[in-house]
């Protein structure tokens, strides 16, 4: 059991980072008026933690007793019947699933499961009909059709089923769906907040934290709480009595990007670009999203760059990232950015050093 | 008839309509009234000027009246004419009768009829114009001539003239009122004069024009048409296709090899007698193929004529031999054909492949005919479903024709790669036959001889062996359908014949057809069509037909059809990356136009191929390896941007399905060409890296998915695959292999270290990570090579390390010693087993607690207390939901009963089994009961009250299915009489020592 999981707050009261959000959610539940919710924010900010805490607040500890099910659906889609399969996590009170795993047939899944839930509504102790909660992860990856089909079902079955949507960016969720939900933004925790959490864990674990150590970890964590806690534990595992200048382990891919950046700075030629391509392929094939690679690469390059070039390079990075999102083959765009950077940098070198 | 006409009051129109009948009347009148002609003459000048105009053509044109013109000058013998006409008049009626049907049916006849009408029309109007008069008069002489053969057909032709005459007379006669006949007709003519003159004139004119038109077209067509098709009916391609082996244009060596192969069938097909001769032929053929090769090498200086002459010599002998063969064998050897020799060539199928128009089909046909076969062709246009084709092939290959003079058949399957789906049928059938044949040959050698007789046909149809040569022809050797065929067939790839050879042939054909074509133009044509003789000939014929001569400009313009061939991707990439030197030179001379041409060329090249995605991938793959001068990376940036655009366009097209936008893709490639094209030859590779990247990505995502599913949900729900590698994997790996852990025995560890170890094991279990031994050779290149000395190396089970293993990158991860790993592996397995039990018993308890070994204590607790314990827990958890517990109490009761039922058997087991096992057992029973209870409590569905007890068990088992095999083994021992179980005993590696082992020993 990692500290990340061990010290994950289980109720809204114990939340450290997003206390204000937690309090608001608690109020919502206590007023028995729970609308559909849309949680959005960067990864590692605590969306899922809050959602689980919220569910626990709603239904009590029984929510935590979940089972994994591989559900099969047979859906009549006009002329043919579709066989769909999806893994769901379900407790008596809620169902959790990742509809985007179903690919382009996700809309059938969403509709089917909501209808199913509406069919057998639970009855609470007072004999009143309760509702179930459907947690949909990665809504931003949901196809447009699925999102459209969602909005009607959301209204129709709102009595029996509440939706909690979770995504990284709300911009990819259609306006219609967003307006039907209470949007809850979970921003990445500030570094101070991260420090708070780390100190809390340190206390619980009975560790001696040298001053500034937590801050260093927080700084390196890229404002991702999960990452901060993980690196904290790593430090603990690697060398316990913490020293103030202890090495905080870096992510391997980031080191690799750093290598790429220094490669680029060293030489600007098509040949070098070809080498860079091979390395970028390596990163991409290890499930690192291209946007993150590009962003990281930009950061690493900016560190080594003359200040007068920074603006231009940033501009081009944004330009190519935009194009990358329009396109399909990320490698083309990352490479184009690298080529552009090389061109700019080389021009700059020649103009400054003759 | 006359009377009839006279009686008729005067229905002018009617008469007009029935022109013919009127005509006859007129003719009748003719008889009497020839004399007044002169008077008519007086009148004529005044009226009807147009008539002469209209008439001349009619006269000249009408085939049947060549007689009329000559006598023009001679007016005198009116009387003679009168007489003649009189005679005619008698005959007339019959003729007319003849004429009427003719009118309706035949065209020329109709034309004549029209003539008649017209000729006749004017007279009633007034008077015949003078020229006509003159014509008329002369006619009489002719008439007189006709009179002699008056019975002839052409009488009607002269008839009209008579009419004219009459018409005038009749008018005269009206004045005189001498004859009633005339009177009547006069009245009628009067009416005409008065009113419809203008109308009539118009009609006459119209008719004349029509006739003129008709005649201008008609006869010409008649005359010329019959000739033209006769000449050009046959395509030159067919007309000049080689009929004998020596005329073949294709490469000599290929030709000979094909022939050689065919000859190898002789012993099988034609029987053993000829075997000797065929041996000769074979040897000579072999010799000559080598000669041919030699010749080919020397071709440059030997000179064309000599070579061909030599060939002729060579082949003359073959032919002789061959003909002998044909004579002797083809006819009668049907019976003893397959007797002894049966030496079919090793590869029973010949596969000819090459681009279209090089003469593959021709070669197959000619060679087969040359060797005395009758060619049976199956091509793409035939039915190619495997059932029909099988029957067809069997017919060809195994049946012999009864006809005495029939030749053995040779099967030519043309365009075998054509239709993939259908063509496959043919390929399958052939393959089946070949494989059957092989089996057959190897299997039974002696029965074979018996079977080879006639009686065996039935059996053979089952076995379907190949007894006749089969030649397959395809364009693309690497078509997927041919994959298997390629392996069994003898493959001949056609190469392009030399241009000069083709030009020679073209020249010959041109000269034969009388078409002028310079050899430069022909060479250009041949090059343009890539030595496709068929398209050359078609083009030439087309031009010849158009009466044009072949010139250089036409070839490159659109006049000559471009062959719609798609080149391979490699060619396209080469074209994009390579600048043509020639073109560059030309560019200097005529700049803009050449750029345009190049653009056109590339555009058609790329768009013909399609699949722009792959084209772009290829460009992307190879572009950076080119050696273009680019000091400031400007070109590279440009190319990259072009590729980006292409990708974006592609994505847009895919998303919106606007396929028409694909037209912009070639332009992108061309712009890249413009930026970086070099003269030097590029070294092009097939774009693999993107695909490789895709597959590895898929693999890794799958790996993560699998792993993700294995992790318990309360952890996995917080992990997403997308961000896992991004922000967790490295740290997780650090945590999983702590450098602080000393590789010593467990009992030597300090208290704190033990705690750390427990923590580590817990982590590993909760993240379902374990160690697994893998073969060292897999590891040779990876991080762990320092450990890889051992025979087997332990590595993380979901190979998480792979996710941070980048090329040319060494991570700083600490690697545990092997001993430590083994300890960990052991501990993890143990922990898993323990947890499986705990998981069952305390499903509802807090997750944190669950992982601590506290739960072990619960094993001792007896069932009833445990039950109540669980119930209590439920109650505490759902205090406000008492009602539900109440409702579910019935279930728990039933559960208890069930447990009681189970109990005796379990008790017995407990007695038998060793103490630890019994405790384990009871715990498991407890756990299962607990789960049942919890499930009944938690389902909160009173409606399901009468749930089957065993169904609940099923649920439990499905829940427990997450546990690993080792975990399942132990519960299995405890519930052994409910399920059959199986022990696998693997102590030691040898079978030499056997000793009895009791089950009890395993259980302890």
Mean pLDDT throughout B757-769? Answer: 83
Query: Which residue in B642, B668, B726, B816 has the most chain A C-beta atoms within 10 A of its own C-beta, making it the best mutation to test that interface?
Result: B726
Is it the case that residue B525 has pLDDT exceeding 50? Answer: yes
Where is average pLDDT lowest: A218-222, B204-208, B861-865?
Answer: B861-865
Nearest CA in chain B to A144: B655
Comparing A215 with B219, the larger pLDDT belongs to: A215
The rounded Cα A342 to chain-centroid distance in angstroms is: 32
Where is average pLDDT lowest: B59-68, B568-577, B815-824?
Answer: B59-68
Where is average pLDDT lowest: A18-32, A237-251, B549-563?
Answer: B549-563
Comparing B55 with B351, the larger pLDDT belongs to: B351
Domain definitions of chain B by residue range = 2-224, 239-493, 499-548, 569-605+612-687, 692-830, 842-974
| Same domain membership, residue A231 and residue A260 | no
- Residue A313 has a pLDDT of 93
Comparing B878 with A85, the larger pLDDT belongs to: A85
| Same domain membership, residue A344 and residue A258 | yes
Comparing B281 with B219, the larger pLDDT belongs to: B281
Nearest CA in chain B to A296: B726
- Check CB contact under 8 Å for A288 and B723: no
- Check CB contact under 8 Å for B877 and A240: no
What is the distance in angstroms between the Cα of A22 and the nearest Cα belonging to chain B?
18
Is it the case that residue B547 has pLDDT exceeding 50? Answer: yes
Q: Phi-psi bin for B611: left (phi > 0), alpha (psi -120 to 50), beta? A: left
pLDDT-based confidence at residue B555 (cuts at 50, 70, 90): low
Alpha-carbon gap, residue B541 to A328, rounded angstroms: 50
| Same domain membership, residue A56 and residue A33 | yes
Mean pLDDT throughout B409-425? Answer: 67
Average pLDDT, chain B: 62
The answer as to whether A245 is a domain residue is no
The answer as to whether A273 is a domain residue is yes
Q: Any CB–CB contact under 8 A between B806 and chain A?
A: yes
- Residue B819 has a pLDDT of 79
pLDDT-based confidence at residue A133 (cuts at 50, 70, 90): confident
3 state SS for B319-384: HHHHHHHHHHHHHHCCCCCCCCCCCCCCCCEEEEECCCCCCHHHHHHHHHHHCCCEEEEECCCCCC
| Tally of CB atoms within 10 A around B638 | 19
Mean pLDDT throughout B57-83? Answer: 45
Is it the case that residue B781 has pLDDT exceeding 70? Answer: no
| Same domain membership, residue A162 and residue A64 | yes
Q: Phi-psi bin for A138: left (phi > 0), alpha (psi -120 to 50), beta? A: left
Alpha-carbon gap, residue B229 to B209, rounded angstroms: 30
Mean pLDDT throughout B856-875? Answer: 44
The string of pLDDT tens digits covering residues B464-519 is 566 778 888 887 777 767 777 777 788 888 777 777 888 888 888 888 877 777 77
The answer as to whether A223 is a domain residue is yes
Mean pLDDT throughout B852-863? Answer: 41
| Same domain membership, residue A346 and residue A266 | yes
Comparing B498 with B58, the larger pLDDT belongs to: B498
- Residue B780 has a pLDDT of 45
Of B31-40, B353-362, B543-552, where does the model show the most confidence? B353-362
Is it the case that residue A270 has pLDDT exceeding 50? Answer: yes
Alpha-carbon gap, residue B346 to B977, rounded angstroms: 64
- Check CB contact under 8 Å for A251 and B763: no
The pLDDT > 90 percentage for chain B reads 2
| Same domain membership, residue A82 and residue A29 | yes
Task: Tell me the count of A-B CB pairs closer than 8 A.
Answer: 240
Q: Which ipTM did the prediction report?
A: 0.89
What is the distance in angstroms between the Cα of B584 and the nearest Cα belonging to chain A?
25
CB-nearest to A289 from B623, B709, B722 is B722
Helix (H, G, I), strand (E, B) or coil at B670: helix
- Residue A315 has a pLDDT of 94
Residues 6+ apart with CB under 8 A from A67: A89, A90, A91, B713, B959
The answer as to whether A244 is a domain residue is no
The string of pLDDT tens digits covering residues B574-617 is 888 887 765 444 445 555 667 777 888 888 888 877 788 888 88
- Residue B399 has a pLDDT of 64
Q: Any CB–CB contact under 8 A between B691 and chain A?
A: no
Provide the b/e sequence for B945-984 (b: ≥16 CB within 10 Å): eebeeeebeebbeebbebbeeebeebbbbbbbeeeeeeee
Comparing B434 with A229, the larger pLDDT belongs to: A229
The string of pLDDT tens digits covering residues B720-741 is 777 788 888 888 888 888 877 7
Residue B244, classified by CB atoms within 10 Å of its CB into exposed (0-12), middle (13-18) or buried (19+), is exposed
Closest CA to B861 of B875, B841, B876, B833: B841
Tokens standing for residue B220? 């010409």
pLDDT-based confidence at residue B775 (cuts at 50, 70, 90): low
- Residue B112 has a pLDDT of 42
Where is average pLDDT lowest: B691-700, B809-818, B857-866?
Answer: B857-866
Residue B482, classified by CB atoms within 10 Å of its CB into exposed (0-12), middle (13-18) or buried (19+), is buried
Comparing B12 with A28, the larger pLDDT belongs to: A28
Task: Give CATH for domain B239-493.
Answer: 3.40.50.300
pLDDT-based confidence at residue B924 (cuts at 50, 70, 90): very low
CB-nearest to A343 from B620, B633, B844 is B633
| B-proximal residues of A, 192-231, CB under 8 Å | 222, 224, 226-227, 230-231
Write down how long chain A is: 354
Mean pLDDT throughout A300-317? Answer: 91
The string of pLDDT tens digits covering residues B103-116 is 444 444 444 444 44
Is it the case that residue B49 has pLDDT exceeding 80? Answer: no
- Residue B850 has a pLDDT of 40
The string of pLDDT tens digits covering residues A15-41 is 888 888 899 888 888 887 778 899 998
- Residue B970 has a pLDDT of 52
Query: Which residue in B731, B756, B811, B888 has the most chain A C-beta atoms within 10 A of its own C-beta, making it the best mutation to test that interface?
Result: B731
What is the distance in angstroms between the Cα of A26 and the nearest Cα belonging to chain B?
19
- Residue A130 has a pLDDT of 72
CATH number 1.20.272 given to B569-605+612-687: yes
CATH number of the domain encompassing residue A13 = 3.40.50.300
- Residue B876 has a pLDDT of 45
The answer as to whether A246 is a domain residue is no
Of the three residues A140, A164, A185, the one that is the final residue of a domain is A185
pLDDT-based confidence at residue B76 (cuts at 50, 70, 90): very low
Comparing B28 with A7, the larger pLDDT belongs to: A7
Alpha-carbon gap, residue A329 to A324, rounded angstroms: 7
Is it the case that residue A314 has pLDDT exceeding 90? Answer: yes
Alpha helices in B242-274 (DSSP H): 252-264, 266-269
| B-proximal residues of A, 260-299, CB under 8 Å | 268-271, 273-274, 277-279, 281-289, 292
The answer as to whether A112 is a domain residue is yes
- Residue A323 has a pLDDT of 92
Q: Any CB–CB contact under 8 A between B721 and chain A?
A: yes
Is it the case that residue B917 has pLDDT exceeding 90? Answer: no
| Tally of CB atoms within 10 A around B514 | 7
| Same domain membership, residue A295 and residue A206 | no
- Angle at B362 (CA atoms; ends B356, B366), nearest 5 degrees: 160
- Check CB contact under 8 Å for B647 and A240: no
CB-nearest to A342 from B633, B692, B762 is B633
C-alpha dihedral sign at B137, B138, B139, B140: positive
Helix (H, G, I), strand (E, B) or coil at B985: coil
- Check CB contact under 8 Å for B940 and A122: yes
Tokens standing for residue B948? 């089957």
| Same domain membership, residue A181 and residue A65 | yes
Contacts 24+ apart (CB under 8 A), B553-558: B555/B521, B555/B524, B555/B525, B555/B528, B556/B528, B556/B597
Of A95-104, A324-333, B403-412, where does the model show the most confidence? A324-333
Q: At what angle do helices B591-609 and B664-676 cross, to 10 degrees?
A: 130
| Same domain membership, residue A66 and residue A26 | yes
Is it the case that residue B648 has pLDDT exceeding 90? Answer: yes
Mean pLDDT throughout B302-320? Answer: 44
Mean pLDDT throughout A219-241? Answer: 85
A108 is in which domain, residue-wise?
3-185
Is it the case that residue B902 has pLDDT exceeding 70? Answer: no
- Residue B43 has a pLDDT of 46
What is the distance in angstroms between the Cα of B718 and the nearest Cα belonging to chain A?
6
Q: Which residues in chain A are closer than 8 Å to B634, comparing Cβ atoms?
A: 343
- Check CB contact under 8 Å for A327 and B648: yes
Query: Which residue in B620, B638, B640, B807 has the most chain A C-beta atoms within 10 A of its own C-beta, making it the best mutation to test that interface?
Result: B640
| Same domain membership, residue A163 and residue A70 | yes
What is the distance in angstroms between the Cα of B596 and the nearest Cα belonging to chain A?
29
Query: How many domains, in total, are found in chain A?
Result: 3
C-alpha dihedral sign at B383, B387, B389, B395: negative
CATH number of the domain encompassing residue A329 = 1.20.272.10
> What's B461's DSSP letter?
H
Q: Any CB–CB contact under 8 A between A239 and chain B?
A: yes
Strand B490-493 to strand B349-353: parallel, antiparallel, or no bridges (unpaired)? parallel
- Check CB contact under 8 Å for A287 and B697: yes
pLDDT-based confidence at residue B329 (cuts at 50, 70, 90): very low
Average pLDDT, chain A: 85
Q: What are phi and psi of B885, to 5 degrees?
A: -60, -45
Mean pLDDT throughout B225-231? Answer: 44
Q: Which residues in chain A are closer than 8 Å to B838, comparing Cβ atoms?
A: none
| Same domain membership, residue A141 and residue A12 | yes
Comparing B937 with B626, the larger pLDDT belongs to: B626
The string of pLDDT tens digits covering residues B348-396 is 788 888 777 777 888 888 888 888 888 888 776 666 666 777 777 777 7
pLDDT-based confidence at residue A335 (cuts at 50, 70, 90): very high
Comparing B991 with A188, the larger pLDDT belongs to: A188
């Amino acid at each position: 059991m990692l500290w990340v999981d061990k010290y994950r707050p289980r109720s809204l009261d114990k939340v450290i980072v997003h206390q204000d959000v937690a309090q608001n959610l608690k109020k919502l539940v206590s007023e028995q008026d729970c609308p559909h919710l849309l949680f959005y924010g960067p990864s590692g900010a605590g969306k899922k933690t809050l959602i689980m805490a919220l569910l626990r607040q709603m239904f009590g500890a029984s929510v935590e007793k979940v089972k994994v099910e591989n559900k099969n659906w047979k859906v009549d889609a006009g002329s043919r019947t579709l066989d769909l399969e999806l893994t769901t996590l379900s407790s008596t009170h809620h169902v959790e699933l990742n509809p985007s795993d179903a690919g382009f047939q996700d809309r059938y899944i969403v509709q089917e499961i909501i209808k199913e839930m509406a069919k057998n509504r639970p009855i609470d102790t007072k004999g009143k009909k309760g509702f179930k909660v459907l947690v949909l992860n990665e809504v931003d990856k949901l196809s447009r059709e699925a999102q459209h089909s969602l909005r009607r079902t959301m209204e129709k079955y709102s009595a029996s089923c509440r939706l909690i949507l979770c995504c990284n960016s709300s911009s990819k969720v259609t306006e219609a769906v967003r307006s039907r939900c209470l949007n809850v933004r979970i921003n990445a925790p500030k570094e101070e907040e991260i420090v708070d959490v780390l100190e809390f864990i340190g206390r619980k674990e009975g560790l001696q934290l040298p001053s500034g150590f937590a801050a260093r970890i927080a700084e390196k964590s890229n404002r991702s709480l999960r990452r901060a806690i993980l690196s904290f534990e790593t430090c603990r595992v690697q060398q316990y009595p913490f020293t103030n200048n202890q090495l905080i382990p870096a992510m391997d891919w980031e080191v690799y990007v750093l290598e790429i950046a220094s490669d680029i700075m060293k030489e600007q030629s098509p040949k070098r670009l070809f080498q860079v391509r091979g390395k970028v392929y390596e990163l991409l094939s290890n499930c690192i999203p291209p946007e993150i690679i590009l962003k990281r690469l930009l950061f690493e390059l900016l560190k080594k760059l003359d200040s007068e070039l920074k603006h231009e390079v940033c501009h081009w990075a944004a330009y190519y990232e935009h194009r990358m999102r329009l396109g399909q083959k990320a490698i083309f765009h990352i490479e184009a950015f690298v080529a552009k950077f090389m061109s700019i940098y080389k021009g700059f070198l020649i103009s400054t050093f003759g | 008839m006359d009377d009839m006409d006279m009686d008729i009051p005067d229905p002018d129109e009617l008469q007009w309509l029935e022109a013919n009948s009127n005509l006859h009347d007129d003719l009748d009148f003719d008889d009497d009234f020839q004399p007044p002609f002169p008077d008519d003459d007086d009148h004529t000048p005044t009226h009807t000027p147009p008539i002469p105009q209209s008439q001349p053509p009619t006269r000249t044109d009408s085939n049947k009246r060549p007689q009329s013109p000559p006598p023009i000058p001679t007016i005198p013998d009116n009387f003679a004419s009168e007489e003649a006409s009189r005679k005619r008049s008698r005959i007339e009626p019959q003729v007319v009768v003849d004429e009427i049907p003719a009118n309706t049916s035949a065209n020329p006849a109709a034309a004549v009829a029209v003539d008649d009408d017209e000729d006749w029309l004017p007279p009633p109007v007034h008077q015949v114009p003078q020229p006509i008069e003159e014509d008329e008069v002369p006619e009489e002489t002719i008439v007189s001539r006709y009179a002699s053969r008056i019975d002839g057909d052409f009488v009607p032709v002269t008839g009209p003239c008579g009419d004219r005459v009459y018409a005038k007379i009749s008018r005269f006669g009206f004045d005189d009122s001498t004859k009633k006949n005339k009177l009547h007709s006069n009245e009628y003519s009067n009416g005409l004069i008065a009113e419809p003159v203008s109308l009539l004139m118009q009609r006459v004119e119209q008719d004349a024009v029509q006739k003129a038109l008709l005649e201008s077209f008609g006869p010409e067509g008649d005359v010329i048409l019959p000739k033209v098709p006769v000449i050009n009916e046959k395509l030159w391609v067919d007309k000049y296709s080689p009929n004998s082996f020596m005329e073949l244009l294709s490469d000599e060596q290929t030709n000979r090899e094909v022939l050689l192969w065919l000859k190898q069938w002789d012993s099988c097909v034609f029987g053993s007698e000829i075997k000797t001769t065929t041996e000769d032929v074979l040897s000579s053929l072999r010799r000559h193929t080598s000669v041919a090769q030699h010749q080919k090498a020397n071709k440059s200086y030997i000179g064309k004529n000599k070579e061909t002459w030599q060939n002729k010599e060579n082949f003359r002998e073959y032919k002789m031999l061959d003909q002998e063969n044909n004579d002797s064998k083809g006819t009668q050897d049907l019976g003893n054909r397959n007797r002894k020799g049966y030496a079919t060539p090793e590869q029973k199928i010949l596969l000819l492949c090459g681009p279209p128009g090089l003469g593959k089909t021709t070669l197959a046909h000619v060679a087969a005919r040359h060797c005395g076969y009758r060619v049976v062709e199956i091509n793409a246009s035939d039915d190619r479903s495997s059932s029909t084709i099988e029957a067809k092939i069997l017919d060809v290959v195994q049946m012999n024709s009864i006809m005495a003079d029939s030749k053995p058949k040779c099967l030519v399957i043309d365009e075998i790669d054509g239709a993939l789906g259908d063509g496959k049928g043919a390929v399958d059938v052939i393959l089946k036959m070949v494989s059957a044949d092989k089996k057959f040959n190897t299997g039974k050698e002696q029965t074979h001889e018996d079977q080879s007789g006639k009686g065996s046909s039935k059996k053979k149809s089952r076995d379907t062996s190949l007894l006749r040569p089969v030649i397959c022809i395809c364009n693309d050797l690497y078509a997927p359908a041919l994959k298997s065929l390629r392996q069994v067939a003898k493959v001949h790839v056609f190469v392009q014949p030399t241009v000069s050879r083709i030009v020679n042939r073209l020249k010959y054909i041109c000269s034969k057809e009388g078409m002028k074509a310079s050899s430069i133009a022909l060479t250009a044509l041949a090059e343009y069509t890539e030595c496709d003789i068929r398209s050359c000939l078609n083009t030439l014929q087309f031009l010849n037909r158009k009466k044009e001569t072949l010139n250089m400009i036409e070839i490159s313009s659109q006049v000559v059809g471009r062959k719609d061939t798609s080149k391979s991707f490699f060619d396209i990439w080469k074209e994009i990356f390579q600048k043509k030197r020639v073109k560059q030179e030309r560019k200097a001379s005529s700049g803009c136009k050449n750029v345009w041409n190049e653009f056109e060329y590339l555009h058609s090249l790329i768009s013909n191929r399609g699949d722009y995605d792959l084209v772009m991938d290829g460009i992307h793959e190879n572009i950076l390896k080119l050696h273009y001068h680019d000091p400031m990376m400007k070109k590279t940036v440009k190319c990259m941007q072009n590729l980006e655009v292409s990708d974006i366009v592609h994505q847009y097209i895919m998303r919106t399905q606007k396929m028409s936008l694909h037209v912009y893709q070639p332009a992108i490639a061309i712009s890249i060409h413009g930026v970086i094209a070099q003269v030097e030859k590029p070294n092009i590779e097939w774009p693999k890296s993107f695909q490789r990247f895709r597959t590895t990505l898929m693999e890794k995502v799958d790996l993560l998915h699998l792993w993700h599913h294995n992790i318990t949900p309360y952890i996995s729900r917080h992990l997403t695959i997308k961000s896992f590698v991004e922000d967790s994997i490295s740290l997780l790996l650090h945590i999983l292999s702590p450098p602080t852990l000393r590789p010593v025995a467990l009992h030597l560890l300090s208290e704190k270290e033990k705690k750390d170890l427990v923590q580590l094991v817990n982590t590993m279990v909760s993240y379902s990570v374990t160690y697994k031994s893998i073969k060292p050779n897999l590891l040779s290149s990876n991080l762990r090579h320092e450990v890889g000395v051992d025979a087997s190396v332990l590595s993380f089970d979901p190979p998480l390390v792979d996710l941070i293993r980048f090329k040319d990158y060494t991570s700083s991860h600490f690697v545990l010693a092997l001993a430590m790993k083994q300890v960990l592996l052991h501990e993890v397995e143990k922990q898993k087993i323990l947890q499986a039990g705990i998981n069952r018993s305390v499903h509802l308890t807090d997750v944190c607690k669950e992982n601590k070994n506290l739960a072990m204590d619960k094993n001792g607790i007896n069932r009833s207390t445990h039950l109540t314990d669980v119930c209590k827990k439920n109650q505490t958890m759902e205090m406000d939901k008492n009602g539900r517990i109440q409702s579910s109490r019935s279930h728990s009761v039933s559960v208890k009963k069930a447990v009681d039922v189970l109990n005796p058997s379990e008790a017995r087991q407990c007695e038998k089994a060793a103490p630890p096992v019994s405790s384990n057992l009871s715990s498991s029973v407890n756990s299962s009961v607990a789960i049942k209870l919890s499930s009944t409590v938690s389902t909160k569905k009173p409606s399901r009250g009468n749930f089957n007890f065993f169904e609940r068990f099923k649920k439990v088992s499905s829940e427990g299915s997450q546990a690993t095999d080792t975990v399942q083994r132990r519960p299995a021992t405890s519930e052994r009489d409910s399920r059959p179980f199986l022990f696998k005993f693997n102590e030691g590696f040898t079978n030499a020592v056997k000793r009895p082992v009791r089950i009890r020993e395993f259980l302890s």
